Amino acid sequence: MYKLIALDMDGTLLNSDKAISEENKQAIAKAREAGVTVVLASGRPLEGMQGKLDELNIHSDKDFVLFYNGSMVKNVGTNEIIHQQIIDGKAAKLVARKAKELGAYVHAFSQAHGLITNEKNPYTDIEANINGLNVTEINFESLEDDHPIIKAMMVAEPSKLTEVIAALPSEMREEFTVVQSAPFFLEFLNPASNKGIGVAAIAEYLGIQPEEVICMGDAENDHHMLKYAGLGIAMGNAMEETKQIADCITVSNDEHGVAKAIEKFVLNA
């Protein structure tokens, strides 16, 4: 029996209108009534997830949330942080220099300043609006080496970002966990951070085995948790590579794929 379900948000739980369908809400509520822990696992900051947590009534001291792609995991009710692995100003400056060299913009999430960028761009507004955040324009070279940074991002239009990814030095992939969370976002995390590590931290905290875990996602930043889970489910709208590593494929995020999977593997199992 499955005891823990971890759900990506954008492209998975949320439809194309960034909403949770009634079908998904009902399936999640029924799973929770049956004793299953349901966790939202997103690349977003917590501020960008809070409204959806409230919609799903995920707010007790038995509930957990995974944000910043697993860089942080906390108990929703008590605010206890059960996993945190971040980077620093020195690492953010390295990402910013390489982004400039490759012709990309750079964003980062600073514990002191929130969403920061060295130059506002069209994608700054997307990130700020989705998550309800203010943006601070800052010269990354002015950051202290030990300044706490949760994650850094290279940002560019999709075709340009594909070129950036191809040109990325292999040593950067060794120094960071590097994941593409959207067609225009390439994220650089602490090497001990990804969604799989974050979900594992919750499972271990609750005494749940990997084979008792379901994870659902649609993009590269979901791959670690899909591989970790006893049952990794890709959405019908997922990237082809995501579908290939998943154990099975549900229908798309616009066809209530989360609800269909919960009904099949949890409620009607």
- Whether 95 and 147 have beta carbons less than 8 Å apart is answered as no
Angstrom distance (rounded) from CA 76 to CA 60: 6
Asked whether the predicted pLDDT for residue 125 surpasses 90, the reply is no
Architecture of domain 87-189: 2-Layer Sandwich (3.30)
* 8 a catalytic residue: yes
Mean pLDDT of the chain: 97
- Domain spanning 4-84+193-267 has what CATH number? 3.40.50.1000
Which is catalytic among the residues 8, 10, 218, 222?
Answer: 8
Pairing outcome for strands 213-217 and 4-7:
parallel
pLDDT recorded at residue 130 = 83
What is the 8-class DSSP label of residue 267?
I
Collapse the DSSP code of 71 into the 3-class scheme (helix H, G, I; strand E, B; otherwise coil) and give the result.
coil
CB 177 within 8 A of CB 189: yes
Inter-residue contact 213 to 2 (CB < 8 Å): yes
| Residues paired with residue 73 on neighbouring β-strands, in sequence order | 66, 83
Question: Residue 132: which pLDDT band, with cuts at 50, 70 and 90?
Answer: confident
Query: In this structure, what token pair is assigned to residue 241?
Result: 């590579």
Extents of the domains making up the chain:
4-84+193-267, 87-189
Residue 127: the pLDDT is 85
Percent of the chain as helix, strand, coil, to the nearest 5: 40, 25, 35
- Asked whether the whole model's pTM tops 0.75, one would answer yes
What digits encode the pLDDT tens for the residues 9-60? 999 999 999 999 999 999 999 999 999 999 999 999 999 999 999 999 999 9
Query: Is there a contact between 189 and 87 (Cβ–Cβ < 8 Å)?
Result: yes
Residues 6+ apart with CB under 8 A from 132: 47, 48
